[in-house]
Each structure stands twice: as C-alpha cells, then as structure tokens.
Chains A and B, each alone.
Chain A
Amino acid sequence: MASPETRRRLGENVTAYGFLCAALVVFSLFAWYPAIRNIILSFQEVNFVRGSSWVGFDNFSYIFDDPLFATAWRNSAIFTLYALVLGFGVPFVTALLINEFRHARAYFRVLVYLPVMLPPVVVALMWRWFYQPDGGLINEILGTVGLPTSDWTNSSSTALISLVIVSTWANMGTATLIYLAALQTIPGELYEAAELEGAGIWRRIWHVTIPQTRFVILMLLLLQVVATMQVFTEPFVMTGGGPQDSTVTVMLLIYRYAFVYNNFGAASAMSLLLLLVLAVFSAAYLRVTRSQQT
C-alpha cells in the first residue's frame, strides 16, 4: 500500500508534468526529434514516394565530390573572419567613443540600433540597390568626397566583403550597446591608478579597458561565429551566390541541395557537418557564460 506521503509526491509530480506537457511535446517534435533525425537522414536517400532507403556514406561522397563544397566552406569561413574583424572592431571602437562623449549619447545609441529593427530582407534589398555601380548611393557618396569607387557585389573579388559590410551595418547595434553597458561597469579608480603609473591612453585601453571587458568580448565573438557560419539571407537575396560562386555559403548550398535539387540526403549530410562545427563554438560559449556565473 502506498503511504499518503508517496501518494502526495505522486500527485505533485503529475501536476508538474501537466504544466510541462505542452513544452515536452513541442520540444520532442521540433527540437529533439529533428536533431536525431538529421543524423539518420545523412545516411539515407530521401524519397517522398517510395520511402527512404539506407545508402551508407553515399551522401557524403556526393557532397565531397561537389566542386562547390570547398568553395562554400571557404566562403563561410572568410565571411566569418571578416565579420569577426569588422563586427568586433567597429562596435567596440564605437562604444569606446560614445562612452567618452558627454553629449548626444541617446542620439548615438538610437541611431546605431535603428538598423537592427529593419527586417534583414529589407536591408538586403536596400543595399542591393545602394551597391549599383552606376548611380548607386554608395559610389555616389564615395565619388563626392573623392574616394575610389568599386563594383561591390558585381565583382567576384569584392562581393563577399560587400556582404560583410551589410551584415555589420545591420547588426552592429546590438554589440555596440552591450559593449557600452560593459564599459560603464569599469571602476574609474582603475583608470586613475593606471594614470599614476604613467600609462597613456593606448596603454590604458590595453591594460584596463580590454581586460575588464574580456568576458563580454569573448561571449559576443563566439555568438557571432555561430551566427555568421549560418549566413543565408544576404547572399540569397543580394547575389544568389554569384558572381562566379564567390558568395555561395554553406547554408545557401544546403538550401540548394534540398529545395532546388530535391536531394534531402545530401542537404542533411552537409547540415550534419555544419552542426558539428557550430556545436564546438556553442559549447565554448556555454562554458564561458557558465564560468562567469558565480
């Protein structure tokens, strides 16, 4: 016979799982099951009519044989690298500057965050128009102040960096505001102490500002790698992967395999490789944030 105590515990558990059940259903169907299914699909030929069949490593040999495989990984890696340099440098310097100013801080803050509020599709379409070599806004501004113009997205040598500029412009607001908040937590005594030691402005940045914001910098860099490795909207809308495949990214290739060539097995194999790469960075991110929570 169950004691009243056990029965009460059982009742409490039933109630708790009642509250959890909807969450468990959506997680099972749309998070846990797809994660496992992605591995299975990688070794299958997906056929909607005849059902799926096991094909071993055929999907992997198919994608390794695709000349675009290396191109896509290289482009995504270069994109990520550029985005790290621009996406770290620009917001950090911007935050440093805003933090020194005594006027119009709200204006700077609202402006830098404004593009984050625009849908990425609108941003991509807008910049596609700005980048036009003849009569486009960007070349027009550069020409006016006497700087050299460029072919931007119309040349395979500059297309990728053009997309990085767009993505930095659109997303730097978040990073800038987070850096700004981090800068405001640095105790002023540290700067005063550095001054007494005779440290100039650059050494103060190097020895006080950067070590004090190290955790936030690392956190945002890792998040950014995870975000830019999955870049899709900009190349899809602005260049379609061109010119000469110079902007084909991993996610764009996955999309093509699945929704253009109807080869879901190859798309899953490619996704599996991407997931492995992303999981490494996500794990690092979680470790960094955990270590900080004391």
Chain B
Amino acid sequence: MREAQLRTLVRPAVLKTTRGRLVYWSLFAIAIILFTVAFIIPLYWMVTGGLKSSPELARNPPTYIPEEFHPSNYSDTWNRLELARYFGNTVVLIGGAWLLGLAIQLPAAYALSKLRPRFGKIVLGMMLVTLMVPATALLIPTYLTVTDVPVLGLNLINNPAAVWLPAAANAFNIYVLKNFFDQIPDELLDAARIDGAGAFTTMWRIILPLSRPIIAVVSILSISALWRDFLWPMVVLPDPAKQPITVYLQRIADTTSLNMLIAGMVLASIPLVVVFLIFQRHILAGLTAGSLKG
C-alpha cells in the first residue's frame, strides 16, 4: 500500500535529525509490539487453545506453546457439534436476507430516484425516520408482530423469514442507493425510453450495471450487520435445529468441554476473517468512503 506522502503533524525535516529518528523508531517499535499483543495474541491463544487437550487447557500457569498438538480436535468438533448444519443455517439466514433485501431495496431506491412518484418525498422521509429508532430497541413489538403477522395471520417463529423480512426494511440502504442513482444522468434513461424500454428494463439494463460498486458496498454492510446480530435470531429461532452458528455456540457454551467450544469458535470465525484478508483493500476503502460522504 504506497500512498502519496502527505504533510502530517510532524515536520518532515525533524525525521531527518538523529533525535527525530530515534523517537520515531522507538515509538514505531512500541506500536508494533502493542498492536501485536493486542490483536494477534488473542487470536493465537484461541487457535492454539483449540489444539490443546482438556487437561492442558485447565493448567495454571497456561502453556504458551501446546505441549501436544491435537489437530484432530478440530475435525472431532466439526463432526460432534454438527457444525456443518449450523453453518448451513447461517448461510440460509444471511444469504436469504441479503438477496431479499436487495430485491426489495433496489427497485424502491430506483422508483424514488428516477420514477419520482407523487408523495415520493414523504415516503422517503417516513423511511428515514425509522433510522432514529434502532431495531434493537423495538425488539418487543417486532417480536410480537413476527409471532402473528397482521393481515396475513402468519406465525413466523422458527422460520427463516423472521430474519429475512425485518432485515429488508433497511432505510439506510435505500438512502445510499437512491443517492447513487441520483447521480446517473437522466439523458441515459430518456435514450432508453425512446428505444421503447419500459421502467423495469431501464433499471435492469442501465441502472444496475452502472451501480455495481455501490451494490457491493451495501452488500458488505448488510452481510456484516447480519453476521454480527445475535439477539434477534436468538429470540425468533428458539428451535435449536434452526439456529445460526453464533446462537448455537452461546447455547452450548456451558455444557461443552472448553477445548471443543474454543475449536468451534475458531471454526465459526474463519469464513469472514478469510474473506476480509482477501478483500481487505476493497472493504476498508468502501468503509471509509461510505462513512465520510455520509
């Protein structure tokens, strides 16, 4: 990552002096050590903890390097805790919520941005008001709504739709997408209309291909929010067989041997960490760009 060097707090000339160099390198060394201790050691402790035997884990003082390596502990955990099933549940919940969310939010943002119906401003305003009321604080009425959906009279408890539908009501995503669509010139759409394209074809053929970057940003934000959510899936999916891996790990935490629990925690963390390490540039760029532009 080479960046153009900007003038920062410290005068560049100072860094050329002996004393300046000394201060710089000592601070740098301290920072490297502190960061490594704070962020690498906990992860190292988890991964090696999953390799230790139960008696070794219980030892005080603990061992920094496992005396005996038990890699089979990971495969045993995978099979005995049936992690494949819970990973499957997680993929169904997050994947479904992500796809349904986009299928609902993209047309809505397109309509508000380009079709500009009557009362469109009021609709957008009412959507944005929901941002002032965090979903967690509305846990109780939303839960009661899911147990008995008005008009339809459905009970969605233990149904993936209980996670998918509330997640689709995401005003932030609609707002971000609409802002992006606003910057696409109307002339492009007029040209398509003259060629006889309807509203849907225009969205599908012109708007969406141009919006890939913003769709990627919205997707990353949605998926990581879903991945982090715990209270809502725990409440609406009481059936153990339906739960995502995070709810499951919390449920078995007190009844499972420590080395298995730790191995399970490591396995549950791997997918997103690997994705992050591969795409870290895009993710970090998207994160800061989205936040500073508002």
Once A15-B199, A264-B140 are accepted as A-B contacts, the answer to whether A204 and B105 lie under 8 Å apart by CB is no
A186 to B142, CA, bound (A): 44
B287 at the interface (CB under 8 A from A): yes
Residues of A within 8 A of B169 (CB): 23, 26-27, 29-31
A283 to B230, CA, bound (A): 26
Report the contact-size class of chain A (Cβ under 8 Å from the partner): 35 or more
Partner-contacting stretch, out of A60-68, A80-88, A92-100: A92-100
Q: Are B292 and A178 within 8 A (Cβ)?
A: yes
Q: Are B104 and A38 within 8 A (Cβ)?
A: no
Partner-contacting stretch, out of B2-10, B66-74, B81-89, B209-217: B2-10
Residues of B within 8 A of A185 (CB): 292
Once A184-B6, A188-B6 are accepted as A-B contacts, the answer to whether A121 and B230 lie under 8 Å apart by CB is yes
Q: Are B141 and A268 within 8 A (Cβ)?
A: yes
Q: Which of A23, A113, A130, A232 contacts B136 (CB 8 A)?
A: A232
A90 to B281, CA, bound (A): 23
A135 at the interface (CB under 8 A from B): yes
Once A122-B268, A267-B140 are accepted as A-B contacts, the answer to whether A22 and B107 lie under 8 Å apart by CB is yes
A195 to B123, CA, bound (A): 51
B180 to chain A, nearest CB (A): 15
A161 at the interface (CB under 8 A from B): no
Interface residues of B in 116-154 (CB under 8 A from A): 116-118, 120, 123, 126-127, 130-134, 136-146, 149-150
Once A188-B7, A232-B136 are accepted as A-B contacts, the answer to whether A23 and B105 lie under 8 Å apart by CB is yes
How many inter-chain residue pairs (CB < 8 Å) link A and B? 277
Q: Are B7 and A129 within 8 A (Cβ)?
A: no
Q: Are B249 and A279 within 8 A (Cβ)?
A: no
Q: Which of A26, A188, A264, A286 contacts B165 (CB 8 A)?
A: A26
Which among A117, A181, A258 has the highest number of chain B CB atoms within 10 Å?
A: A117
Which among A23, A230, A268, A282 has the highest number of chain B CB atoms within 10 Å?
A: A23
Q: Are A35 and B230 within 8 A (Cβ)?
A: no
Once A26-B165, A112-B35, A233-B230 are accepted as A-B contacts, the answer to whether A41 and B107 lie under 8 Å apart by CB is no
B240 at the interface (CB under 8 A from A): no
A35 to B140, CA, bound (A): 10
Known: A35-B133, A38-B141. 14 other contacts (CB 8 A): A22-B103, A23-B105, A26-B165, A26-B166, A32-B130, A125-B250, A130-B45, A178-B288, A188-B8, A232-B231, A233-B231, A237-B250, A268-B140, A286-B131
Residues of B within 8 A of A (CB): 1, 3, 5-11, 15, 24, 27-28, 31-32, 35-43, 45-46, 49, 58-62, 103-105, 107-108, 110-112, 115-118, 120, 123, 126-127, 130-134, 136-146, 149-150, 165-166, 168-169, 171, 174, 199, 203, 224, 227-228, 230-231, 235, 246-247, 249-250, 253, 258, 261-262, 265, 268-269, 272-273, 276-277, 280, 284, 287-288, 291-292, 294
